[in-house]
Amino acid sequence: GRSELGELCNSFILRRTKTDPTIAADLPEKLETREYTHLTSEQAELYENCVNRMLHAVEESEGIHRRGLVLAALIKLKQICNHPAQLLKETVGEGGGAPNPSRSGKCTRLMEMVDEVLSEGERCLIFTQFRQMGHLLAAMLRQHLGRGVLFLHGGTPQKAREKMVEEFQNPQGDVPILIVSLKAGGVGLNLTAATHVFHFDRWWNPAVENQA
């Protein structure tokens, strides 16, 4: 029966919970806040144009093609809200030159919040769904702060990954910011040095975001 199966499985299931006294110190209660920002005029124009193009295309399509158009537009709208440079596929220039954060309301607010974290001598993680946005954020933060910023993504080799984690976790280290792509963040990462976590953009997948 079901109870017998449960008893057989229990001895093979390992589960760590926040109430476990051996890890309670590593996982203090989290405090969540939502930050709201306005679109810049550049973002608002791109957003409106994207919506209008999508609505026009949807009128001329049907079925699964129509669904595809809507989903593609939603991804573009997320990119516009992140930073116009992401939608326009602007790259980090030679020497690390970055797009201006002030072109995005979200980036402007992130810079302010990161300044607040660092002024308290603390460390933070920044999660993003998009690898391209991770590169843009790393360049913007390096330029804004004049210091190193780590970026761990799905293409980071294992040795480099381990080195990044060690560097971030080192209490004497000088790199208090680690950007992580959500897809790379779910495999055996232990980043207890972070006191703040920013979800820069949402993946609309609660299980993945909660794990992060």
* pLDDT tens, residue order, the chain (212 aa): 556 666 655 555 555 555 555 555 555 677 889 999 999 999 999 999 999 999 999 998 888 899 999 999 999 999 999 999 999 999 886 666 899 999 999 999 999 999 999 999 999 999 999 999 999 999 999 999 999 999 999 889 989 999 999 999 998 888 999 999 977 655 567 788 889 999 999 877 777 777 76
- Please state whether beta strands 150-152 and 196-199 pair in parallel, antiparallel, or not at all (unpaired): unpaired
Contact of 98 with 136, CB cutoff 8 Å:
yes
Contact of 177 with 151, CB cutoff 8 Å:
no
Packed helices 105-119 and 131-145: angle between N→C axes, nearest 10 degrees:
50
User: Rounded to 5 degrees, what angle do the CA atoms 121, 154, 201 make?
Assistant: 60
Give CA–CA dist 74/77, Å, rounded. Answer: 5
User: Rounded to 5 degrees, what angle do the CA atoms 111, 114, 119 make?
Assistant: 125
The reported pTM is 0.82
